[in-house]
């Protein structure tokens, strides 16, 4: 049976009230911990129940390997600790994983913050928890810099970044997505997160990332990806077979207001090839796309 708390989290993930790979992952982990703490079932009944609740979370955003990897870890631990007598051990293992995930995110933000020098202008697209953490860490160190955020249509997630940074005291400018070329000549760093990191070093991220990355390459502005290795897909075929989520056309133009026979496409993500990416900042350190490829495929080499 689906836990009411899990159902709420799933709906918030689907409706992008919870967004960003890191926030989605941590929200799901926290929800599953609470569900396990409440459960009084044993053995196969417990395992089936946990599996059902994990599946409802995973199904909401098919392009989120960070969520899948975390839920698979929890499921593997649940299989080893199915009985009530082992419940404390299971919860302890999951909480340790949750804490290590938070530490990894903090390490990524700390490494990336060291790249921001006084006077720099940093561009970001959409809303990434890791990018926001990085910018706040640099600000806390007394670095004087400026951030440019794209609106990120059609759901305007860039406004979340802009609002959060402004409240923190960081000098922030919001620009419309199509105006990036006008400002890129003055941008020193282009920071984004990644929803998926493929085994060849390419990434999938919020739609619009690819075209901005092309512009950054033209202006010799490094595109730097802030991501946990939990976002990595080890299957070499995933990039070919990964289906990009196509969201409701109502997000672009509400049905009652748009022409009756108008066709609208609303992909949630696009794919940025590795040759447009300067480097990855991960909990394992700073990696080039080639080095990240070796890290992801280390067991096959």
* 211 catalytically annotated: no
- Residue 123 to residue 190: CA distance in whole angstroms: 5
Instruction: Give the H or E element holding residue 271.
Output: strand 269-272
Instruction: Give the H or E element holding residue 224.
Output: strand 223-226
User: What tokens does 221 get?
Assistant: 């502005």
Q: How many CA atoms lie within 13 A of 248 on its CB side?
A: 9
- Residue 19 to residue 237: CA distance in whole angstroms: 26
Per DSSP, 201 falls in state S
- Catalytic pick among 3, 49, 195, 231: 195
Per DSSP, 228 falls in state -
- Catalytic pick among 3, 49, 93, 126: 126
Nearest by Cα to 199 from 287, 289, 262: 289
* 126 catalytically annotated: yes
Instruction: Give the H or E element holding residue 94.
Output: helix 87-113
* Number of Cβ atoms within 10 Å of the Cβ of 47: 16
Residue 183, preceding bond cis, omega within 30 degrees? Answer: no
- Residue 168 to residue 275: CA distance in whole angstroms: 34
Residues annotated as catalytic (active site), given as ranges:
126, 195
């Amino acid at each position: 049976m689906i836990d009411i708390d899990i159902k709420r989290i799933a709906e918030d993930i689907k409706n992008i009230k919870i967004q960003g790979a890191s926030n989605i992952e941590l929200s799901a982990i926290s929800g599953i911990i609470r569900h396990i703490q409440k459960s009084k079932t044993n053995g196969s009944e417990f395992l089936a129940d946990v599996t059902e609740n994990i599946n409802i979370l995973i199904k909401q955003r098919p392009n989120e390997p960070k969520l899948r990897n975390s839920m698979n870890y929890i499921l593997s631990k649940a299989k080893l600790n199915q009985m009530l007598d082992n419940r404390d051990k299971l919860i302890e293992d999951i909480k340790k994983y949750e804490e290590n995930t938070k530490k990894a995110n903090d390490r990524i933000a700390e490494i990336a913050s060291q790249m921001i020098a006084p006077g720099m202008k940093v561009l970001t697209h959409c809303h990434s928890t890791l990018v926001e953490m990085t910018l706040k860490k640099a600000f806390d160190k007394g670095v004087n810099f400026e951030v440019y955020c794209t609106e990120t249509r059609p759901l305007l997630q860039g406004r979340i970044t802009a609002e959060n940074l402004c409240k923190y005291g960081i000098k922030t400018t919001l620009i419309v997505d199509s105006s990036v070329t006008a400002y890129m000549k003055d941008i020193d760093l282009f920071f984004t997160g990644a929803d998926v990191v493929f085994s060849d070093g390419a990434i999938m991220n919020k739609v619009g990332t690819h075209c901005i990355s092309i512009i950054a390459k033209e202006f010799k502005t490094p595109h730097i990806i802030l991501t946990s290795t939990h976002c990595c897909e080890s299957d070499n075929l995933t990039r070919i077979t990964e289906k990009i989520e196509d969201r409701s056309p109502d997000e672009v133009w509400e049905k009652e207001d748009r022409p009756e026979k108008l066709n609208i496409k609303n992909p949630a993500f696009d794919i940025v090839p590795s040759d447009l990416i300067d480097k990855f900042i991960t909990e394992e350190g700073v990696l080039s796309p080639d080095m990240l490829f070796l890290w992801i495929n280390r067991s096959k080499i």
